[in-house]
Structure 1
Amino acid sequence: MASNGSDPHGPDRPVVGLTTYGERAAYGVWDHDTVLLPSTYPDIVFAAGGIPVLLPPRPQAAAAVDRIDALVLSGGPDIDPQRYGADRHPLTGAARAERDAAEIAMLQRALEREIPVLGVCRGLQMLNVALGGTLVQHLPDAVGHNGHNPTPGKFATTMVDLVPGGRVATAVGTTVAVQCHHHQALDRLADGLVVTARAGDGTVEAVELDERPFVVGVQWHPEQDATDIRLMAALLAATRT
């Protein structure tokens, strides 16, 4: 567990749990089911002074939340719309029922323990859904363009305005260029969540859970720039307060 020491690179560095994908993958001579995560996630945790631990997408893995200092809900595929009582949109991706269940269980345990949480892209959406909110299943239907995900497999730059004084704005500033890759977004906000950033088209880009020291979600991918560790550093700093 993290200590209250001031050295982020000392022997008692915070342990950060990272949720992962369960996907079919091919590498070398192998082609089989895997648990995986882009290396940019553990890289930025290391860069910020933490120790990353990968959490498999299994509900049983929620028990590991008792042994970490912070939780990151990583990006990934669409959440099953049944989770928020909606019919499936034709462009909503295939359900990953086990991952959905695992992340909800992990988040619930993290909230019970009152440890810091950061939701990234899908993780922001999962934070909203797990607390009772809903999603826009295909964002171009709502905003009239595909600027948040113009090319599959490539990130798009989005300008975001943040509410001054919020946890995210305190970490990264009030106007930032961020890397996005999403075709879904927040619709009805869950009770307790506060919007602290929007894109120019009104899309919610960050939320924070009211009256919690550090439970935040961002619609963008901060792990895509390993030279900018400010948001991850803020997550780690919250483990020491």
Structure 2
Amino acid sequence: MTQPLIGVSTYLEQASWGVWRLPAALLPAGYPRLVQSAGGIAAMLPPDEPGRAAATVARLDGLVVAGGPDVEPVRYGAEPGPRTGPPARERDAWELALIRAALDGGTPLLGICRGMQLLNVALGGTLVQHLDGHVEAVGVFGRHPVTPVAGTLYASLVPEESSVPTYHHQSVDLLGDGLVVSAHAHDGTVEAVELPDPAWVLGVQWHPEMADDTRVMAGLVRAAS
């Protein structure tokens, strides 16, 4: 069987390596490794002109919208709060266009952390700009249990409560059109959202690329095959 091609959105940042300090398209290695472990081929999708998103997604078998900086609040009609980070406007525009192209074309889609939040915004939802008490330390991942909602796509992939790696700063507030909640934390924070059949569209609030559990990514890869 041909391995499906899974596009993963990337950062565009100033970076240093060796003797170089240059603008770079960056992606934590956990993302491509998770795609590869789940049986897919990973392709990086750095920010591009939003008008090219449909043609890009048409060449993919599946799409992952990766984690990263805060979604600019203007995207969901809000003013930035005091703890909201600086905007990443190129990424916002590009990834929203990728999401809309995937939804329009029926391309399997997985949103991770920021990717889940952008999925919600793309469908008209809003975000909580800061969750108090959810980040253990700056730049350090924590863990907490996530409970699936019975009968959902996520529950079919991970049917039991599981401990997941997290770096929660923002989260879903008003749910986007058509989305259903498919997992939550013990405090009620929305941990996964999805679109009902026949689409394969799932967003998770945590970072599966930071763990060894491939079940969520394997579901995307199967849908993309």
The answer to whether the superposition gives a TM-score over 0.5 is yes
Q: What amino acid does structure 1 have at the position aligned with 2:123?
A: L
Question: 1:101 pairs with 90, 93, 101, which one?
Answer: 93
Q: How does 1:24-173 map to 2 (within 5 A)?
A: 24-58=14-48, 59-62=50-53, 63-140=55-132, 146=133, 148-173=134-159
Q: Could you tell me which residue of structure 1 aligns to residue 223 of structure 2?
A: 238
1:206 and 2:192 equivalent? yes
Deviation at 1:82, TM superposition (A): 0.3
Q: What amino acid does structure 1 have at the position aligned with 2:7?
A: G
Contact 2:148 2:158 in 1 (8 A): no
CA distance in 2, matches of 1:47, 1:93: 32
CA distance in 1, matches of 2:224, 2:19: 41
Contact 1:164 1:174 in 2 (8 A): no
Q: Residue 120 of structure 2: SS of its match in structure 1?
A: helix
CA distance in 1, matches of 2:160, 2:77: 34
CA distance in 2, matches of 1:179, 1:212: 29
Contact 1:55 1:61 in 2 (8 A): no
CA distance in 2, matches of 1:95, 1:14: 32
Q: Could you tell me which residue of structure 1 aligns to residue 174 of structure 2?
A: 188
State the TM-score, normalized to the length of structure 2. 0.96
CA distance in 1, matches of 2:52, 2:27: 16
Contact 2:47 2:90 in 1 (8 A): yes
Q: Could you tell me which residue of structure 2 aligns to residue 6 of structure 1?
A: none
User: Alignment identity in percent?
Assistant: 51
Tell me the alpha carbon deviations over residues 45-65 of structure 1, each in whole angstroms, 9 at most, x when there is no partner: 111110000001122551311
More displaced 10-residue stretch of structure 1: 198-207 or 149-158: 149-158
Contact 2:57 2:107 in 1 (8 A): no
Tell me the alpha carbon deviations over residues 107-153 of structure 1, each in whole angstroms, 9 at most, x when there is no partner: 1111111011000000010000011000000111xxxxx1x311111
Unaligned runs of 5+ in 2: none
Contact 1:213 1:238 in 2 (8 A): no
- How many residues are paired up? 223
Unaligned runs of 5+ in 1: 1-9, 141-145
Tell me the alpha carbon deviations over residues 137-175 of structure 1, each in whole angstroms, 9 at most, x when there is no partner: 0111xxxxx1x3111111110111111221111112231
